[in-house]
Each structure stands twice: as C-alpha cells, then as structure tokens.
Amino acid sequence: QEQLVESGGDSVQAGGSLRLTCVVSGSTYRHYCMAWFRQAPGKKREGVATIDPDRTTVYADSVKGRFTISQDNAKNILYLQMNNLKPEDTDMYYCAAALGCPAERMEWLFPYNFGYWGQGTQVTVSS
C-alpha cells in the first residue's frame, strides 16, 4: 500500500516562498504520475501541478511562473517550490499519485485520475 506524507506547509507573508515535500513509499515510484492539489474548506479540490515519469510538467494557470514541481526519484520525494506567494494561495495542499498519467494532458490536473493521496499540509499566506 503506497503512503504519501506531505510536509513543509507554514504561514508566510505575501511575496514569500515555501517548499512542500511529499515522501512516497512504494517500489514503483519511478512509474508514478505525481501531482499537487489544493483545497479550501467547502471548495472543490484544485489541480496545481503534475509531473510524469519523463518529467513533463503541467501547471494550473494561476501558479504558472511562480510554482515549480520536481522530483527526486532516487529518494522517492516530490517537491513543490512556491515563490511569490499570494493570499489566494492559502489552502490545504495534497500530494497525489497515479500509476501513469492520463493519455490526454488536459486531464492531468483532475483529482479523479489519482488514486493515492496524502493527508495534506496547510499553507497560509497573509497580506
């Protein structure tokens, strides 16, 4: 059973930076499609960024140019570097994994394509 454990969430001021980390257990990590999602209470879970085993990436328009998804396959770790944070980035951030990315890249940011989830880490950005 794969386990995903996030860390790195914190409270920062607008314009600041954070790096989220997701440690994944599971021998097939290098084949996974990995993603970050975020969700506020009462709202839908929103795709933030996805990376496939070939390191191709997809980003939500709201974070392009500010966030970077990356992974260390040797250590089974997924990262999300978040720069120039804005108050609207305040959310619970979740790491997710799937055994392969969907064939259509436009599907990469939809949560129903991912079967493994972490517990989340809270990011709060104050103005």
- Residue listed under structure tokens 């305040």: 90
Single-letter code of the amino acid located at 17? S
Mean pLDDT confidence for 8-29: 91
How many C-beta atoms surround the C-beta of residue 114 within 10 A?
A: 24
HSE-CB of 67 using CA atoms within 13 angstroms: 26
User: What is the spatial distance between Cα 41 and Cα 115, in angstroms, rounded to a whole number?
Assistant: 21
H or E element, residue 59: strand 57-59
Mean pLDDT confidence for 96-117: 93
CB-CB contact of 117 with 95 (8 Å): yes
Percent of the chain with pLDDT over 90: 83
Whether residue 73 has pLDDT greater than 90 = no
